[in-house]
Each structure stands twice: as C-alpha cells, then as structure tokens.
Amino acid sequence: MSPNTDAAIPAALAAPDAPDAPDAEDWLVDAALAPLADGSLAPLYAGAAAGELTLPFCADCGLALELEQRACDGCGATDIRWRPVERAGTVHAVTLVHRREPGLVRVTEPYPVVDVELTSGHRLIMTTLTATGSAPAIGRPVTVGFRVVGGVAVPAAALSTTAALSTTEPSAPTAPTDAATPDSPRATGTAPAPVPSETEVSQ
C-alpha cells in the first residue's frame, strides 16, 4: 500500500480554517492524550495542521476508505491516495458522555461524541469544536474544524450558534461507545481526536 498524498488542493474546497495556536489548551482533554502525528495517519494530521481535512481514497477506483483501511472494498486495490475533501457533513449519530477524570478530562459536564457523515463519503467520529454540554440533533449540518491537543490538530465538529441543540441524549441511533477515543479508528473511519468514552477505565 502506498499512502500517497495529492499535492494539488481542489479549488472548490472551502477556505481552510487554521487550527488554534499549537500551545493552546484544549477544552476537553489534557495534552497527554495527544495522538501520534507521525504514524499511518500522518497525512491526516499534516492536512489538519494547515486547516485542511485530508482523507484516504482508493487510488484505482476513487472509493472513500476508512482511515486505516488496507485494501479497497470496491476493487481490492491496495494503493491509497490521501487528498483534501470538503469539510462539510451531517450528524449521523451522537451520544453524550458522562465522565469525570481529573487530570485527563478537563470538563465536568457531559460532552458529545459525534459520528459525522461527510459529503466525501467518509464517516468520522469526533467531539465538538467547543464545549456544548448538549447533543446536536441527528441530521444537523456541521462543518469540520480543528482542535489542538498537545500541539496536534485533530478534527472536530463545528456547530452553528443559531441551530437548536437537543437537551437530552437521543435514544437512537447512538455512536458506539466501545471505541475509547477517536485515535482508534472504527469501521466507519474514526477521527483521531482524543475523546474519552464511557467505557474507558484509564488512558
């Protein structure tokens, strides 16, 4: 597999939003939970640092792939190409996490974990760009922005200030909580943004 990154950025993409300063303190987790930015997901993090959402596609047939997928489901090819995509999508599923872990999790109120279905065909699991304490409604449009955790930019769902938020956790569908953090890609292509789950005991 050759994880190539296209150098050209499509003109149709929205202007990138630069992430916060590298030394900025994340609203949700401590810097100790920052993901490794030089591994197999290096193209994602390099793009995020520039305010671009860079995701993998099959180099042969163009199918959108999961973050750490090794072979294309459509044609079986193993050549992977990473390229910038539109940072737009909708909330596919969401859950509110009730967890307190002083020293790692900064907030004491519930925080959302959102499964975002992107216009590119990918799905990423992430938290919100800023603290909300509420769960965004299923089907709500979002724009992918970037949090900075320990100097590493990671995808996060930016919500408009005018759209209503649900005040209770939706009954279904909900994002699975067996994935501890979005550093651990799920079958849907989990965004590597540290988001502790309800089932984690420790990091």
Quote the pLDDT of residue 24. Answer: 75
Domains present along the chain, CATH in parentheses? 22-35+86-158 (2.40.50)
Question: Angle at the Cα of 70 (from 122 to 51), degrees rounded to 5?
Answer: 45
Asked if residue 89 lies in contact with residue 32, where contact means CB atoms within 8 angstroms, the answer is no
pTM exceeds 0.85 for this model: no
Q: How far apart are CA 128 and CA 195, in angstroms?
A: 10
Q: What pLDDT digit, counting tens, does each position of 139-159 carry?
A: 999 999 999 999 999 999 998
Quote the pLDDT of residue 172. Answer: 44
Quote the pLDDT of residue 184. Answer: 35
Low-confidence spans in the chain with pLDDT less than 50:
1-2, 6-15, 162-187, 193, 197-203
Report the b/e string of 14-48 with b at 16+ CB within 10 A: eebbebeeeeeebbbbbeebbbebeeebebbbbbb
Quote the pLDDT of residue 133. Answer: 87
Q: How far apart are CA 133 and CA 129, in angstroms?
A: 12
Q: Are strands 111-118 and 123-126 parallel, antiparallel or unpaired?
A: antiparallel
